[in-house]
């Protein structure tokens, strides 16, 4: 597959080995006086080693290479002990490789090993000024330069293993049993996700296609049908439990904003993955994940929800290719949404 990977300029490399310990995946070794990439399988292509080469001999390029294999990397990582494991998890989190991070945690859990606490510190610019953000395996605290959170007085804490159930894969299932959890509204009221008596009583009187406004202009809230997180195709783990034997809704990013009744008409009783075929990079990762969902998670069908714009054709082709390369054949349905929010087409491809 075509992907990012480290390239070593042998003319510049002096064999000092400064970069070797910074590759926690074990992809680099000094052999015969030069640093060598010992296996494509071990190199994640994120370039953590580059800044440690005093000669500038390391660069990230794109070339045909074997896919990075997190399981094989973890076989190597665990031999280095807790600090090496911690450094590897931190490395994946810092670069946003949450699918690989979930896979690494799954590996540790399967091996009966503890997942070590790791912390990431970085600075980002926000509208209220510069903030120091600390992200850990347990919680997140964000403070601006005034010591406040987002220019407010509160401190935000997110517990990654809190109200949403963690299925062990790094992916989260959202509990909707008993009408789901509570959410806080702008009016500081507490509304239960399933508290829709008013909606049910006035179900036939909605004046628009989205079903979110009653004839007397009283707002009607539509309940969410989302059952899991994350949903972005780059971030999801295709082996997560919520995909097993499920019907997949593969939706273009814009579709949920363009069709008012997205949740009830399309998402209900389906698992979700979203992507943008025009702006997202590394489509091969998307293809690999869809194939894995078909063959390993045994998804039963794919419904592709796209906009009428030409760039959305790429998402349809991606689904078709996944079915073509997979060992199982499943039905693919394509629904096209117009920019006015109406359904333009609804067809079965196979």
pLDDT at 102: 80
Over pLDDT 90: what percentage of the chain? 29
Q: What pLDDT is stored for residue 303 in this prediction?
A: 96
Size of the chain, expressed as the number of residues it contains: 350
Q: What is the pLDDT of residue 350?
A: 78
Q: What is the mean pLDDT of residues 83-106?
A: 79
Confidence at residue 83, expressed as pLDDT on a 0 to 100 scale: 81
Residue with the bigger pLDDT between 293 and 93: it is 293
- Quick one: pLDDT at residue 78? 86
Rg (CA), the chain: 23
What pLDDT is stored for residue 154 in this prediction?
31
Helix, strand, coil percentages, rounded to 5, for the chain: 30, 25, 45
pLDDT for 200 beyond 80: no
What digits encode the pLDDT tens for the residues 218-233? 667 778 899 888 999 9
Q: What is the arithmetic mean of pLDDT over 242-258?
A: 94
Stretch 3-31: mean pLDDT, rounded?
Answer: 89
Give the tokens for residue 8: 């070593």
Q: Residue 216 has what pLDDT? A: 62
Q: Residue 246's closest CA among 189, 297, 177?
A: 297
Residues linked to residue 334 through DSSP beta bridges, in sequence order: 304, 347
| Residue of 74, 84, 37, 38 lying closest to 58 (CA atoms) | 37
Percent of the chain with pLDDT over 70: 70
User: What domains can you pick out in the chain, each with its CATH number?
Assistant: 2-68 (3.30.70.20), 118-161 (no CATH), 228-348 (3.40.50)
Which element (helix H / strand E) includes 333?
strand 332-337
Residues 95-126 pLDDT 10s: 667 678 788 888 898 899 988 876 654 433 33
Residues 84-89: what's their mean pLDDT?
82
Per-chain mean pLDDT for the chain:
74
* CA gap 55, 190 in Å, rounded: 59
pLDDT at 161: 31
pLDDT in tens, 148-158: 333 333 333 32
pLDDT of residue 256: 92
Report the predicted TM-score, pTM, of the whole model to 2 decimal places: 0.46
Convert the pLDDT of each residue in 287-342 to its tens digit.
Answer: 889 999 999 899 999 999 999 888 888 899 999 999 999 999 999 999 999 888 89
């Amino acid at each position: 597959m075509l992907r990012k990977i480290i390239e070593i300029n042998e003319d510049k490399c002096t064999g000092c080995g400064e970069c070797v310990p910074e590759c926690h995946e074990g992809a680099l070794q000094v052999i015969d006086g030069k640093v060598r990439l010992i296996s494509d399988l071990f190199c994640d292509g994120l370039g953590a080693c580059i800044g440690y080469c005093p000669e500038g001999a390391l660069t990230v390029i794109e070339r045909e290479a074997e896919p990075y294999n997190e399981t094989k990397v973890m076989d190597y990582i665990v031999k280095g002990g807790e600090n090496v494991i911690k450094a590897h998890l931190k490395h994946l989190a810092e670069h946003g490789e949450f699918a690989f991070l979930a896979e690494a945690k799954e590996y540790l859990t399967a091996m009966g090993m503890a997942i070590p606490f790791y912390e990431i510190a970085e600075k980002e610019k926000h509208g209220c000024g510069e903030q120091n953000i600390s992200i850990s395996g347990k919680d997140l605290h964000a403070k601006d330069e005034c010591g406040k959170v987002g220019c407010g007085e509160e401190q935000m804490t997110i517990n990654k293993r809190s109200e949403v159930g963690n299925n062990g894969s790094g992916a989260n299932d959202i509990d909707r049993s008993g009408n789901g959890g509570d959410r806080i509204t702008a009016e500081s009221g507490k509304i239960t996700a399933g508290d829709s008596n008013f909606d049910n009583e006035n179900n036939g009187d909605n004046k628009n296609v989205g079903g979110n406004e009653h004839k007397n202009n009283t707002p009607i809230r539509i309940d969410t049908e989302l059952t899991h997180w994350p949903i972005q195709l780059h971030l999801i783990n295709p082996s997560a439990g919520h995909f097993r034997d499920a019907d997949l809704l593969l939706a273009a990013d814009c579709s949920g904003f363009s069709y008012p009744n997205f949740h009830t008409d399309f998402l209900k009783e389906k698992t979700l993955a979203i992507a943008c075929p025009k702006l997202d990079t590394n489509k091969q990762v998307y293809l690999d994940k869809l194939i894995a969902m078909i063959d390993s998670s045994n998804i039963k069908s794919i419904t592709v929800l796209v906009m009428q714009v030409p760039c959305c054709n790429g998402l349809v082709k991606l689904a078709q290719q996944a079915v073509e390369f997979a060992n199982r054949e499943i039905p693919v349905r394509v629904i096209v949404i117009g920019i006015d929010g109406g359904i333009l087409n609804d067809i079965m491809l196979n």
